[in-house]
Amino acid sequence: MGKKNKVGDGENLTDEEDSKYGHPSKYDPTFKGPIENRGCTDVICCLLFIICIGGLGVVGYLAWTQGNPISLIKPTDSVGNICGYSDTVTDKPYLYFFNFLDCLSYSTLLNIKCATTQICVSSCPNYTAAPYTSVALSLADNLPLDISLINWDNFICDYDFDPQSEYLTSGGTYEGTDGLEKMFEDDKCASYVIAQSPYLDRCIPSFLVNSLSSVTEVFSEDEYILTGPGDSNNITSSNAGELFETSVNLILDVFNLIEVIYQDVATSWYLILAGMGIGMLISFIFIIIMRWLAGVIVWFSIFGLYAVLGVGIYYSYYMYKSLEGVDGADAALTFTSNLSSYLRLQTTWLVIGIILSVVLAILLLMTLCLCTRIRIAISLIKEASRAIGHMISTLFWPILPFLLELIVVALWACIAVYLATSHQAMYAVYNAPSDFGLENGTSCEIATFASNNTTATCGFQEYALPSYTIYLQFYNLFMFFWLVNFMIALGQITLAGAFASYYWAYTKPQDIPAFPLFKSFYRSIRYHLGSIAFGSLIIAIIQIIRVLLEYVEQKLKGKTDNAVVKYIIKCLKCCFWCLEKIMKFLNKNAYILIAIYGKNFCTSAKNAFFLLMRNIVRVAVVNKLTDFVLFMGELLVVGSVGVASFFYFTNQITFISNVVTVPDLTYYWIPIIIIVIGTYFISVCFFGVYDMAVDTLFLCFLEDLERHDGSAEKPYYMSKELMNIVGKKNKFGKGKDDGDDD
């Protein structure tokens, strides 16, 4: 065993272990906090980041020039014309479905994927007619069709198709009664027409839109039968409601709910903002008073956990004794799906009692052994409150990264939508004879198509996305991950520099530099954009791999039952989830050392990792306790605001509702949910600053222990409370003024 090397408060390492995790930091008489004399770091990654942003600009330009988001809002006909928008249908704002029964779900209606012809019309029909029915009846009875009885005005047909002229054209495709029937079979004209009303720019049966008292109001007085070629259902006044309501009711309900939600939000928007403002105020107050309550919260929680375990042990013993002498209670444990039967066995309660006792004993021993580290964690939490108290601007700093992240989200969403609507017209061969050389349905180009004097034509088939769109979408998503993580990293490194300036101020607050947050932000964007891009790139790569794994898993669903493949994918997803968590933790600590020393990302990450490994026990305790305290704070803020909002909107806080009237809402839980969600994000921003303060001060504390020994030449920078906990003190010199050690 080599010689012991003292590090910190008793976490001793041998020479071999010391070498394995690097060497402790040496004393530097010129070091007084974040260094000013630094150079640019990770320049290559910075250039790569700029190039990739340029690539995103190219993708955005392609999406902008080829996409059309209006097609997601306005209905589109069968050939891709946007009703009321495209040049050929500017005067036809409504979409008409030849056979509405082919649109039986919400998704098919909105995406216009119904297996029926759809055309844009200037107005929805306000009458009911059955042009195909009369033709079908005549053919069935072998009777001649009386042309004078045909009302051509009742026909709704495809663009540039005149049924009367086609019917009367001698030798034409649709000449005579057989040709008239073929019009409907070829979807040139609608087989039947029902009185309809516009809804979301689509023609929908009036009895569904207008809530008519009777379905028969859209039909004639007689039992009218509407039929179409190949229809499995005849439509009558008695079954129309049943046939159509399945395809529309869900849509009407959803959009009605959206309208109600919009109205409730519009009515209570000022109360929603007020609730979020109260949440911000509570978060601010909680952070300020943490310098006095941190110890109380931590120790109360620890002893509360002991009390809960003690009650559990007592209850287990009580149930064990109460089951003595009960028939069947002494039976052995056997597997059964009836879980309640276990509670009637003495063995169950004996096992529970033993487990709880072991857990309690382990926690008690850990508390005794880690008592000093717990006190360090509490002291650091208090010190973080003092730091924030001296730099109030840090609490509002997250607003800037948050706004930048909103811009990134908006940019990603816009590019994604434009890419998703960058449809191109696809053309295919139609009416090709057997000796033409190309089969019907084969892709073709109109500009180069040659029919060779045959009946073959190159006609419109569909609007489809180019094959490369999926790759551009993945690139857009990757850049979204990179940019969002870049903004998060920029916020972390800026805060780290500010809090490090606080810690390394020997006399607080007198020695704290002026405008520490602004100076830290300047250093970050002036020297370390490359390092920030490097760290965020690592996280973005891991996240895009996780997305690809999800994509592969979805593609394989229903296509393979290979258990090995499924197991491998699940394992990979779990591994990359863990890797992302680990890298986020390491990145944050690397950013702290970058903010202090100005070194590149890899060097800072290595030094941070070794520093943490040399103090692994302290790291585990401080991180877990800090996470717990922050969780308690977030729970307190969100819970208190949520409960208060519930009582207010249910008019149970009369002394407030008498001053601020509760608005009349359809669903009072809508503003409550919005307030709770908004307050959660606000509290996360506030406590994220607090978490960064603790982590920065903790690394500075570890560096302080390694660099200094308390002598006049090497005085400690930590607070007196921290020095007392770790058994250190400044032995010489004027001493350290900790004016905020209250």
Q: What is the pLDDT of residues 121-163, one digit of tens each?
A: 999 988 887 777 766 655 555 555 666 667 788 888 888 888 8
Closest CA to 297 of 518, 56, 627: 627
Sign of CA dihedral 657, 659, 660, 664: positive
* Alpha-carbon span 623 to 562, nearest angstrom: 41
Looking at per-residue pLDDT, the higher value among 394 and 106 belongs to: 394
Report pLDDT for 251: 56
* Alpha-carbon span 263 to 422, nearest angstrom: 33
Omega into 509 within 30° of 0, i.e. cis?
yes
- How distant is the alpha carbon of residue 173 from its chain centre? 55
What percentage of the chain has pLDDT greater than the value 90?
Answer: 17
Secondary structure of 387-450 as H, E, C letters: HHHHCCHHHHCCHHHHHHHHHHHHHHHHHHHHHHCCCEEEEEEECCCCCCCCCCCCEECHHHCC
Supply the Cα-derived Rg of the chain in whole angstroms.
37
pTM of this structure: 0.72
Copy the structure tokens of residue 228: 């179409």
Angle at 314 between CA 312 and CA 317, to 5 degrees: 110
Looking at 557-653, list the stretches that DSSP marks H as alpha helix, in order from N- to C-terminal side. Answer: 563-597, 601-613, 616-649
Looking at per-residue pLDDT, the higher value among 10 and 682 belongs to: 682
In contact, 288 and 633? CB cutoff 8 Å: no
In contact, 736 and 506? CB cutoff 8 Å: yes
Residues 6+ apart with CB under 8 A from 468: none
Q: Name the pLDDT band for 80 (thresholds 50, 70, 90).
A: confident
Report pLDDT for 522: 92
Mapped onto helix, strand or coil, the DSSP state of residue 315 is: helix
Q: pLDDT tens for residues 519-561?
A: 999 999 999 999 999 999 999 999 999 999 998 888 887 676 7
Mean pLDDT over each residue of the chain, to the nearest integer: 78
Closest CA to 706 of 620, 588, 606, 614: 614
203, 265, 274, 276, 278 from 269: Cα distances, Å: 34, 5, 9, 11, 14
Report for 587-601, 606-620, 663-677: range of highest mean pLDDT: 587-601
Copy the structure tokens of residue 211: 């809530």
Copy the structure tokens of residue 462: 């569909």
In contact, 247 and 103? CB cutoff 8 Å: yes
Interval 286-291 mean pLDDT = 75
In contact, 481 and 539? CB cutoff 8 Å: yes
* Alpha-carbon span 639 to 683, nearest angstrom: 11
* Alpha-carbon span 293 to 274, nearest angstrom: 27
Environment class of residue 178 by beta-carbon count within 10 Å: exposed (0-12), middle (13-18) or buried (19+)? exposed
- Long-range contacts (CB closer than 8 Å, 24 or more residues apart) made by 309-317: 309/356, 309/359, 309/360, 309/363, 310/360, 312/352, 312/353, 312/356, 313/353, 313/356, 313/357, 313/360, 316/349, 316/350, 316/352, 316/353, 316/356, 317/349, 317/353
Question: Side chain identity at 665, as an amino acid letter?
Answer: L
Report pLDDT for 411: 92
Orientation of helix 346-369 relative to helix 240-322, angle to 10°: 80
- Roughly how many angstroms between the first and final C-alpha of the chain, as a whole number? 44
Q: Which of 70-79, 252-261, 310-319 has the lowest average pLDDT?
A: 252-261
Sign of CA dihedral 232, 234, 235, 241: negative
- How distant is the alpha carbon of residue 15 from its chain centre? 48
The answer, yes or no, to whether residue 107 has pLDDT greater than 90, is no
Which DSSP symbol is given to 473?
Answer: H
The answer, yes or no, to whether residue 451 has pLDDT greater than 70, is no
Report pLDDT for 19: 55
Neighbours of 690 (CB within 10 A): 24
| DSSP string of 669-733, one letter each residue | HHHHHHHHHHHHHHHHHHHHHHHHHHHHHHHHHHHHHHH--SSSSS---S-HHHHHHTT----SS
Instruction: Say what the alpha-carbon torsion angle 345, 350, 355, 358 is, to the nearest 10 degrees.
Output: 180
Q: pLDDT tens for residues 651-700?
A: 777 777 677 777 777 777 888 888 888 888 888 877 888 888 888 988 88
Interval 475-491 mean pLDDT = 94
Which DSSP symbol is given to 196?
Answer: E
* Alpha-carbon span 552 to 559, nearest angstrom: 11
What percentage of the chain has pLDDT greater than the value 70?
Answer: 78
Interval 216-230 mean pLDDT = 50
Closest CA to 728 of 740, 741, 742, 715: 715
* Alpha-carbon span 203 to 248, nearest angstrom: 11
Report for 18-27, 374-383, 602-611: range of highest mean pLDDT: 602-611
The answer, yes or no, to whether residue 242 has pLDDT greater than 70, is no
Q: Name the pLDDT band for 287 (thresholds 50, 70, 90).
A: confident
Report pLDDT for 49: 95
* Alpha-carbon span 625 to 458, nearest angstrom: 71
Interval 708-722 mean pLDDT = 79
Environment class of residue 245 by beta-carbon count within 10 Å: exposed (0-12), middle (13-18) or buried (19+)? middle
Report pLDDT for 56: 94
Q: Name the pLDDT band for 105 (thresholds 50, 70, 90).
A: very low
Q: Name the pLDDT band for 52 (thresholds 50, 70, 90).
A: very high
The answer, yes or no, to whether residue 474 has pLDDT greater than 50, is yes
In contact, 680 and 650? CB cutoff 8 Å: no
| DSSP string of 254-310, one letter each residue | HHHHHHHHHHHHHHHHHHHHHHHHHHHHHHHHHHHHHHHHHHHHHHHHHHHHHHHHH
Q: Name the pLDDT band for 587 (thresholds 50, 70, 90).
A: very high
Instruction: Say what the alpha-carbon torsion angle 437, 439, 445, 451 is, to the nearest 10 degrees.
Output: 50
Report for 47-51, 255-259, 268-272: range of highest mean pLDDT: 47-51
Region of 602 (left: φ > 0; alpha: ψ -120 to 50; beta: rest) is: alpha
